[in-house]
Each structure stands twice: as structure tokens, then as C-alpha cells.
Chain A
Amino acid sequence: MGLVVPWIIGLPLAGWILNGLWGGRLGHRPVGWIACSAVLGAFILGGWEVLALLRAPADAAVVVRLWEWIASGDFRIEAALRLDRLSALMVLVVTGVGFLIHVYSVGYMHGEEGYSRYFAYLNLFVASMLLLVLANNLLVLFVGWELVGLCSYLLIGFWFEREEAARAGRKAFVVNRIGDAAFVLGVCLLFVLFGTLNFEEMARRVRAVPSGQLAMATLLLFVGATGKSAQLPLYVWLPDAMEGPTPVSALIHAATMVTAGVFLVARLWPLFAALDILPNIVAAVGAITALFAATVAVTQVDLKRILAYSTISQIGYMFLGLGAGSATSGLFHLTTHAFFKALLFLSAGSVMHALSGVIDVRRLGGLGRAMPLTTASFLVGACALSGIPPFAGFFSKEHILESAYHAGLIHLWLVGVVTAGLTALYITRAAILAFGDPPADPHAHPHEAPPVMAWPMIVLLILSAAGGFLGAQALGDPFHQYLAPLFEKKTVPPARGLDGLVLGAVSVAAAAAGIVVAWAVYRGRRDPDLGAVGVFLRRQWYIEDLYRAVVVAPAEAVARFCAGVVDLRWIDGVLNGLAAWIARIGTGVRRWQSGYVRQYAAVFLVGTVLAVSYWLFR
């Protein structure tokens, strides 16, 4: 069993190397085949391992020690992998959805100049994400963590000749890095506290560690998670990341990389759950972010940006679920979200593909007849996102809201319900504006997606429609059964009976309200101006402007000051001034060297007289 696990990462890695080094010479078809089969292979291996794990006791784990990575004094870190039920789930999600998106990309990126580069990066991304989820200790996880950040940078800026794309990639990496700086400090503190970074050992020793410092460490790690998962305050990179190719947005910025923060909290659950304060912070940040992002999404006109803010919002839900004490609910939503958000993005991509890159919803419309599959996909995804039963999103979102309610976080539950309404509102608006009648451009002739793009959408459509039943009470909630043993008593099972029905009805009602309001306001593809409120929301509550004024601009001013004034004028001024002063002394002393013999003679005389008198009279 242990021999298989490294190959889960190894296959996509090999794909990266092959396509990276020889992709140009191999030609487009082999490149696509290599990339897709690498991910499919990883998926198959992952599935094999899951089957084996299901037969084993719930907390079983396969640990593969590869080599000793860093050894310095008492600091010893192994390059080691861990496959347990949690990482196996993530492997399946990453490689499964990843495979579908790889296949879709074959169609979407057809004819692109950087085709092999694209697939090389995509494979590298999958390998890095798998490293992240399969890591056996926090430092190896961090390697995967930063590497996915690298791939995100490379893929956002894929069309690097566009300044906006390059800038967006840079922004993503830098903002992530800020979170990573906090992450690293948290890792250092954890090592100081535990003497190890191995997950299993940390879980075992958690009782023996002072809680104040543990809280600090987990908080630092959570800050890192907000960076990677685009939550407040470090979310600002995700909307701009839509500059990248749409499949990239689907895979990295919806289904996988952005969920890394959620995975991190789940992985370190024993540390987070040992205290009360951290889960509360996590839940609060998640809920507030969810609401915030939903309000912004209502005002966006770029279809991908609507989906980006939607992602920010939904990840907020995942953190809310985790913080409320139900790790399984957060992870279930992670899974369903991967399905329907990827579906939504792929639909958007299909639209862009058909209409030469148009993504402004004001210029779309009337696509229902020409693109039935795409339209159906978007609608199914929208329903799942809104939490309409029986689509997938309903079950997962419900579980989260129930957990919040039962954990006593009533205000956060309320925020979640309101957000659910807003979610339904913005996605319905998006659906109407993008797909509804009348079309903005009557002369546009969109065509449906080719099969290679259509089939992944169909699979995701089915998963978004039916995937929720993995978490359905009626079927014994297999998802919860699968994961719950990992999280002991700290995870709240879904509500049963009347309680569950009432809560469920409330959230469905909110969603329905959202849909109704959206229909009323935006029907016929109207997009009324929301005035000052609209501007406030569209500019993300002026948060980015705030950052620019308070952080970015002063920092740049300081940099310019240091470079131009401190270095050039002060420090160098002192040095050059010193040199000039010595030169001036020299010039002064030069006057003694007149070349006049008589002056020299006079100096001899005076000097001799002085010397002799000194000698005589001392």
C-alpha cells in the first residue's frame, strides 16, 4: 500500500516534467494525453487507496517516509506522506475534478500558443496540491502550500503579454505571501511548543501545551489560511485572478487551491478544537466574509468575478461550519462546492469560448436556444449554489447552518441565512443577465461546446444534482460516517427530525426569496442602477482602496524615500562628503608645495631654528 501513495503525486509530477521539457516538440495531442492521463492515473490510485481505507479501521493511516529532509540540531523534518480518510477524500476531489478540467482544457485551450506550457503548469499544480493534502507534517504541507501559490501565479499570468494578467498573478502571489509569513511564524511557534511538526504527534501532545501560545500559533496559521482561501482580510487577490484562463479559475480558484485553508484547519483540528476561542474566530471570519462577498457579488458585471466573489462567500461558509464544531459539514460543502462551482465556471468558459472571450453579462443574453447544455449546466450549478433541494449544495449548506445554530452561534446562523438569500439573488441575476432573453447582441451566433468540453460539464452536472445525497440523512449520511471518526466528539452530526426540518425550511425560504426578488428586479435582463449603495458594494466596501491608501502607497513612498534620500543623499552623502573633505585638505596642503626653492629654504631655516631651540631649552 505504501508504495502506491508516492505515485499519486509522482504521476502528475512526471506529467509536468515531460510536458515542460519536451512539450513543444511532442505536439498538442500527445501533450493533452499525457497531462490528462497523469491526473486520471492519480485518481485511480487514489480511489484504490480509498477502497482499502474503507476496509480498515476509521483512524487508519498509511504513512510513507521518503527521506530525511531537514536535520539541524533538534529540528528534524522528514519528507513523508500520510494517507488517511481525510487526505484520501481530498485526493479524490482534487484529481477527480482536476481530471475533468484537464479534459475540458483540451478543448478550451485548443490552438493556444502556450498549450504545452499550460498543461505542464496544470500538472504541476495538481502534484503540488496533492503534496499539500498528503503531507505528513506541517512543513511538507507548507511546501505544497507555497507551490500551489506558485502555480497559481504562473497560471493567472498565463497570457503574460497582457499587463493586467501579469499584475494579477503578482498580486496573488504577494498577498498569499503575506499570509504565508504568518503561517511560517505559526509553524515556528508550533515547533517550539511541540518539538515536532508531525500531525499525529502534535495531536497526541496537545493537552500538554500551554493554551495561550497554542491559540497564538493556530491564529497565525489561520491568518495564513485566510490568504490562501481568500477570506477577509486577504481575499483581494481572487477577483483579479480571473485574468487567467477559465479552466484555471475553475480548478484552482474554486475547487482546490482556495480550499487549502479549509483543509488546513481540518487537518489541524485537534489543535484548533482544543480551545474555544479559535473555532469562534474561524466561524466569525467565515460568516462575515460570506456575507461581505455575497453583497459585492450582486453588483458585479463580469461573470467570472461574480463567481469569484461567490467562491469567497462559499468558502466563508466552510469556515463557518468548521468553526461551529462540525468539521464534516465544512468538508462536505468543500466537496459539493467543488462540483457546482467548477460546473459554473466551466459553463462560463463555454460562453466565453463561444463568443470570443466576452464575459461582461451586459453583453450576453439569449443563449438558451443556441447553447442548451451550457445553459442547463449553469442553471443546475446555480440551484446547487443557492441551496435548493435536492441539489448538492442544499445538503452541505444545510448541515453548516444547522451546526451553527446548534453550537449556539445564533447571530452567525442568521448571517448565514441572509447570505443564502443573497447568494440565490446574485446567481439568479447572473443567470438572467447572461442567459436570459433578450440577447444584448442579436447578431451573435454562439455555438454549443464541443464534446471534449461538454462531457466534463455533464459529469459535473450530474454530481451537482445528485452529489448531495452523499450527505443525506435518508441514506444514513455516508459522508459524515466516513469522516466523523477522525474528528471525535467535536463534530456535530446533522440534525434529525423536526429541528432539522424547520431549519431546512428557513434556509430554503431564504433562497427562494432571493430567487423571487432577483426575478422581479432583473427580469428581461434589466440591471438597474443601485446608486451610492451600488458603488459602495461594487468597490468592495472600499476595502481595496483602503489597503491602497493605508498600506501600499505609504510603503512605496517609504521605499522611494529610502532609495533616493537615505541611501543616495544621506549615507553616500556622508561618504562622498568625507572624500571631498579630504580632497579639500589636500588642496589646502598643496599650497605648501610651491616649487619655490627660496620658500623651501626659508622653511628649512625656520624649522632648524625651532628644533635647535627646543633642544637647547627643554
Chain B
Amino acid sequence: MILSAIVFLPILGAAAVMLLPRRDELLRWAAFATSLFPLGLLVRAFITFPPQEAGFRFVERSPWIPALGVTYQLGADGISLLLAGLTAFLFPVAFLGTWEAVRHRVKEYLSLMLLLEGAILGTFLALDLVLFYVFWEAVLVPMYFIIGIWGGERRTYAALKFFLFTMAGSVLMLLGIVTLALRTGTTDVLRLLQTPTPHDLQPWLFWAFTIAFAIKIPLIPLHTWLPDAHVEAPTAGSVILAGLLLKMGAYGLVRYAIPLFPEAARSFAPLLSALGVAGILYGGAVAYAQTDVKKLVAYSSVSHLGFVVLGTFVATLQGIHGALLQMINHGLSTGGLFLLVGVLYERAHTRRLDALGGVAKEMPAFTALSLFIVFSSAALPGTNGFVGEFLILLGTFRADPGRAALAAGGVVLSAIYLLWMVQRVYFGPVRVDPSAFRPLTWQEAVALGALVLVILWIGVQPAPLLERSEAAVAAVAARLAAASEVAR
């Protein structure tokens, strides 16, 4: 029952918020409080989850559409537990860190955000393909409205682009799901994981799923919805978009595309890992050329997720383990970066690099917190980013040293564009009117502080996360390694 509670509490909360009176502070507290419940439940689940468990726990199952073999099934293994935990952590942080950023139609906004939380949790915890698809699509709707109503100047274009692009991929995935269901007679993921998929179908199904995930991640060249969506979305929207939505794609690869179609995955792995490397370098290069802080951070996501894709498809245990950890890390560090941008925008009302400057002088505490988050994104040892990136590099190196060498270039690139951003925004002379700077509100401080603490904790003691996910990751890696290549 715990997983259903985790998924549906936010959704019920969304409905409840719609029934409350239109008093902004009350609504904000209600939404924030609601988002704490899944977090509490997940912490409990996390503590009781045994390390070295390769399978699923807290499984709930009831038949849904028996005629089509569709069940309502939820479950968590080491992989989904970590991602669900990230979700449950990031939403309260996002609420807190952008407390007063949205001032009109607050009720609808908060309700949509809670709906979004439930849908994302559902995606990570679903163990039935149709259920997964329902939640996957359900994520699009609130996000579309959040971007389209509370976003920036080009919000309509960005929201539409985001929706259509992602939907195109999803429809492809739906075709795949239907085909698979017709062939095997079930959409129960636990059963599907036990039954090998016929080899003739695998390449088609693999690509049907993978294209949908690749758009979401985003993997170049399917990434161009991301800069627009991120820039135009309101801050909390960007935090969730970068922190969680992108991970849904990466999660899909690890949970569905690879385990269900291992032979196809094996044959296409070189191509996909090459695209990952390309994403690392391309994303980093383009990030450096940006003049808008938010766009810079958006492209840094492309670069970081390139690492994740690379780690996933080199098929080594460290690679996939590192990729999973980086999913969590990126959610924290890039979510954090967007929060920083939000704090700045609330005060300076600009995102242009050449219009900002000297923030360190006016807001020293904020700068200190910012540096932690920036260096986490740059994978400085001592922060979480290093552990994930190093594992990916090691995993890649063991499979293909050349690719690892190229990926190591990404490490240099991230330092270049991040420190460039820091120099322009925080250092140098103050370019914005100094009176615009107010000190951090307690909400912003707590949100950023919580992020920094988790960043440091994972950097120094990643063991709790690593040991709970190791077995599940090993299972995925083993499937991939054992698969023979499909004759094309």
C-alpha cells in the first residue's frame, strides 16, 4: 500500500488545494506540507530496503483490464527507489526555494505542481507498461500548462514545442507497447522481464521505446526542445523539468529498453554510447557560447545526461551504476542551479550574463551556497558529482578507453562553462542596481542549504545509495552482457 500512497497523496493533495480558499500563503503551506508526505514515506521505504536486493519490493498488484492483460502494479527496486526518493526530495525543495515566485493564479499553479509530482512518482514506480504509459503521458499535461501559463516571454512556443516533441516520441512508444502486448499477451513488467522478447521484434520495439526516451533525456540531436522549455518555464518548473523529467527518459532506458530487448540494446549500444559522448561535448560547447544563464544551465543538462547515456550503454556495472548515481546527482545539482538562477531573477530581473555581475559582493551567503552547487555540477571530488562521473568514466574505460578519453574532455568543458558563468554572474564589478539585492529569505536558504547538505553527504558517503542499487544495476548489466548480438 505504501507505494500507492506515495503516488496518490500528491494527486489527492492537488484536488484538495483546488478546494481551499484563495489565500496565497495558506495554499503555499498546504502544497509544501503535502509534498513532505511522499518524502517521509520514501525515507521509511529507503531505510527498510535491504542492500543487495536485486528484485522489487513493496509490490502491489491488482487486475485492471484483464481482457487485455493490463494490471495495476507498482513496485520499487534499488533503481526506482532512488529516483522516487529524488522526486520526493526535489518537490519540497522546489516549493520552498520559489516560495513567492508565482503570484497570480497560485491555486492552479500549486495544484498542477502536485499533480505533476504524483505523475512522476507513478512513472518511476509503475510495473505495468500501460500504467507506466498513462503516468508518462500524465506528466506532460501539467508541465505544458505550467510552462504555458506561468512562463516567460516565449512560453507558448516553448510549451507547445515541449509537448509536441515529447508526445511524438510517446506515441511511438505506445505503438511499441501495443505490439509487445499483442505478441506476449500481457503488459505486466514483472512477467515480461522473465519472458525473452522474440528477436525479430526486438530492433523495432527497442527503437520505439528508445526514441521516446531519447527525446526526453534529451539525447542529441533530439534535444532542441530543452533550451526553450527550460528558459521559458517558471523556476520551479525548470527545477522539476531538469531534475526529474529528464531522468524519466534515462530511467526508461535502464528499466525497459535494455532489460526487455537486450539483444537489440547490445547491437545498438555503440551507436548510443557514441551519441552520449557527442552530447557531452556538444552540450558543453554550446553551453559555453550562451549569453542567457538559464540556457547555459539547460545545455549543461544535455552535457551531463550525455554522461548518463554513455554510462548506461557501455554495459559495465560501474558504468550503469555511475549513470544511475549521476541521475540523482544531476537532479540535485542542476535543480540547484535553476534555483540559483531563480533567486537571482527574483532580484535582478534579468538572466543575461552581460547584465549581471558582482553578486558575491552583495550576497555572500548566497554565493557560498552557489559555489557548492556549481562545483557539484563540475564533479569536484567531495561532492556527489565526482562519485557518479568517476564511476561512469571507469565503466566506460573498461569497455572502450577511447570513448573514455573523449568523455574526460567533458570534465574540462564543464569547468570552463560553469566557471565562466560564475565569473560573469558572481565576480567582477556589480552591474545591476545594488538596491535590487535583498538577502536570502529563510525559505530560499533552507532549500539551498538542504541541497548542499545532500550534495556533500552523497559525495562523502555514497554507500547507502550505492549498496541499495548495486544488485539491481548488476542485473541489468548482466542481461546486457549475456545477450548475443541480434543479426540485423
Binding site for B on A (CB under 8 A): 20, 67-75, 79, 117, 139, 142-143, 145-147, 150, 153-154, 157, 160-161, 163, 165-167, 169-170, 173-174, 177-178, 180-182, 184-185, 188-189, 191-192, 555-556, 558-560, 562-564, 566-567, 571-572, 575
The 10 closest A-B pairs by CB, nearest first: A563-B289, A188-B397, A143-B381, A166-B427, A73-B317, A160-B427, A181-B408, A559-B285, A559-B289, A563-B286
Q: Do A161 and B285 touch across chains, with their CB atoms under 8 A apart?
A: no
Closest A residue by C-beta to B286: A563
Q: Which of B223, B409, B423, B461 contacts A166 (CB 8 A)?
A: B423
A373 to B281, CA, bound (A): 54
Contacts of B322 on A, CB cut-off 8 Å? 72
Q: Which of A68, A167, A184 contacts B393 (CB 8 A)?
A: A184
Q: Do A160 and B426 touch across chains, with their CB atoms under 8 A apart?
A: yes
Contacts of A170 on B, CB cut-off 8 Å? 419-420, 422-423
Which residues of chain B (174-231) have a CB below 8 Å from chain A? 221, 223-224, 227
Tell whether A70 pairs with B289 under 8 Å between CB atoms, given A147-B382, A167-B423, A571-B224.
no
A564 to B426, CA, bound (A): 26
Tell me the smallest distance from the CB of A473 to a CB of chain B, in Å.
42
Contact digits for B357-398, partner A, Cβ 8 Å, 1 yes 0 no: 010110010001001000100001110001100110110011
Contacts of A180 on B, CB cut-off 8 Å? 411
Contacts of B404 on A, CB cut-off 8 Å? 185, 188
Closest B residue by C-beta to A21: B368
Binds A, one of B35-43, B66-74, B105-113, B466-474: B466-474
Q: Which of B165, B282, B380 contacts A562 (CB 8 A)?
A: B282
Tell whether A185 pairs with B428 under 8 Å between CB atoms, given A75-B394, A161-B358, A560-B289.
no
Q: Which of B282, B429, B466, B474 contacts A161 (CB 8 A)?
A: B429
Tell whether A559 pairs with B286 under 8 Å between CB atoms, given A157-B427, A160-B428, A177-B412.
yes
A277 to B463, CA, bound (A): 40
Which residues of chain B (406-435) have a CB below 8 Å from chain A? 408-409, 411-412, 415-416, 419-420, 422-423, 426-429
A-B contact pairs, 20 of them (CB 8 A): A67-B463, A69-B460, A69-B462, A72-B466, A73-B321, A79-B460, A143-B386, A160-B426, A160-B428, A161-B361, A163-B429, A166-B428, A170-B419, A173-B415, A173-B419, A184-B393, A185-B393, A185-B404, A188-B394, A559-B289
A146 to B411, CA, bound (A): 12
16 additional A-B pairs beyond A72-B466, A173-B415, beta carbons within 8 Å, are A69-B460, A139-B390, A143-B382, A147-B381, A150-B380, A161-B361, A166-B423, A169-B419, A170-B419, A173-B419, A174-B415, A174-B419, A556-B288, A567-B227, A571-B223, A575-B224
Q: Which of B224, B317, B382, B419 contacts A567 (CB 8 A)?
A: B224
Contacts of A562 on B, CB cut-off 8 Å? 282, 285-286, 289
Tell me the smallest distance from the CB of A580 to a CB of chain B, in Å.
13
Q: Which of A70, A154, A178, A192 contacts B398 (CB 8 A)?
A: A192
Contacts of B474 on A, CB cut-off 8 Å? 73
Contacts of A559 on B, CB cut-off 8 Å? 285-286, 288-289
A188 to B389, CA, bound (A): 12
Closest A residue by C-beta to B419: A170
Q: Do A142 and B387 touch across chains, with their CB atoms under 8 A apart?
A: no
Contacts of A139 on B, CB cut-off 8 Å? 390
Contact digits for B266-298, partner A, Cβ 8 Å, 1 yes 0 no: 000000000000000010011011100000000
Q: Do B470 and A73 touch across chains, with their CB atoms under 8 A apart?
A: yes
Residue B405 is within 8 A (CB to CB) of chain A in the complex: yes
A192 to B429, CA, bound (A): 48
A318 to B317, CA, bound (A): 41
Q: Which of B286, B358, B466 contacts A70 (CB 8 A)?
A: B466
Contacts of B401 on A, CB cut-off 8 Å? 185, 188-189
Tell me the smallest distance from the CB of B50 to a CB of chain A, in Å.
16
Residue B318 is within 8 A (CB to CB) of chain A in the complex: yes
Contacts of A185 on B, CB cut-off 8 Å? 393, 397, 401, 404-405, 408
Closest A residue by C-beta to B295: A563
Q: Do B470 and A184 touch across chains, with their CB atoms under 8 A apart?
A: no
Closest A residue by C-beta to B302: A567
Q: Which of B386, B409, B460, B461 contacts A181 (CB 8 A)?
A: B409
Q: Which of A72, A181, A556 contacts B412 (CB 8 A)?
A: A181
Instruction: Determine chain B's interface SS by DSSP, over half rule.
Output: helix
A142 to B393, CA, bound (A): 15
Tell me the smallest distance from the CB of A171 to a CB of chain B, in Å.
9
Tell me the smallest distance from the CB of A127 to a CB of chain B, in Å.
11
Contacts of A75 on B, CB cut-off 8 Å? 318, 391, 394
Tell me the smallest distance from the CB of B137 to a CB of chain A, in Å.
21
Contacts of A174 on B, CB cut-off 8 Å? 412, 415-416, 419
Q: Do A68 and B463 touch across chains, with their CB atoms under 8 A apart?
A: yes
Closest A residue by C-beta to B408: A181
Closest B residue by C-beta to A181: B408
Contacts of A146 on B, CB cut-off 8 Å? 380-382, 386
Q: Which of A71, A79, A147, A189 contacts B380 (CB 8 A)?
A: A147
Contacts of B361 on A, CB cut-off 8 Å? 160-161
Which residues of chain B (243-287) have a CB below 8 Å from chain A? 282, 285-286
Closest B residue by C-beta to A192: B398
Which residues of chain B (455-488) have a CB below 8 Å from chain A? 460-463, 466-467, 470, 474
Contacts of A556 on B, CB cut-off 8 Å? 288-289
Closest A residue by C-beta to B397: A188
Tell me the smallest distance from the CB of B468 to a CB of chain A, in Å.
11
A180 to B413, CA, bound (A): 12
A157 to B423, CA, bound (A): 10
Q: Do A192 and B397 touch across chains, with their CB atoms under 8 A apart?
A: yes
Closest A residue by C-beta to B405: A185
A165 to B412, CA, bound (A): 20
Tell me the smallest distance from the CB of B376 to a CB of chain A, in Å.
12
Which residues of chain B (302-354) have a CB below 8 Å from chain A? 317-318, 321-322
Contacts of B318 on A, CB cut-off 8 Å? 72-73, 75
Contacts of A571 on B, CB cut-off 8 Å? 221, 223-224
A376 to B14, CA, bound (A): 76
Contacts of B165 on A, CB cut-off 8 Å? 575
A181 to B413, CA, bound (A): 10
A189 to B463, CA, bound (A): 24
Tell whether A163 pairs with B380 under 8 Å between CB atoms, given A185-B397, A185-B408.
no
Closest B residue by C-beta to A74: B317
Of listed A165, A166, A560, A571, residue having the most chain B CB within 10 A: A166
Q: Do A163 and B428 touch across chains, with their CB atoms under 8 A apart?
A: yes
A497 to B466, CA, bound (A): 60
A188 to B318, CA, bound (A): 12
Q: Which of A70, A157, A161, A188 contacts B387 (CB 8 A)?
A: A70
Contacts of A150 on B, CB cut-off 8 Å? 375, 380
Tell me the smallest distance from the CB of B254 to a CB of chain A, in Å.
15
Contacts of A163 on B, CB cut-off 8 Å? 427-429
Contacts of B427 on A, CB cut-off 8 Å? 157, 160-161, 163, 165-166
Tell me the smallest distance from the CB of A542 to a CB of chain B, in Å.
23
Q: Do A70 and B290 touch across chains, with their CB atoms under 8 A apart?
A: no
A117 to B367, CA, bound (A): 12
Closest B residue by C-beta to A570: B221
A75 to B285, CA, bound (A): 32
Tell me the smallest distance from the CB of A137 to a CB of chain B, in Å.
13
Q: Do B470 and A71 touch across chains, with their CB atoms under 8 A apart?
A: yes
Q: Do A71 and B317 touch across chains, with their CB atoms under 8 A apart?
A: no
A170 to B429, CA, bound (A): 16
Closest A residue by C-beta to B414: A177
Tell me the smallest distance from the CB of A498 to a CB of chain B, in Å.
51
Q: Do B224 and A572 touch across chains, with their CB atoms under 8 A apart?
A: yes
Tell me the smallest distance from the CB of B377 to a CB of chain A, in Å.
13
Tell me the smallest distance from the CB of B485 to a CB of chain A, in Å.
23
Contacts of B290 on A, CB cut-off 8 Å? 563
Of listed B321, B409, B423, B429, residue having the most chain A CB within 10 A: B423
A507 to B466, CA, bound (A): 57
Contacts of B375 on A, CB cut-off 8 Å? 150
Contacts of A558 on B, CB cut-off 8 Å? 285
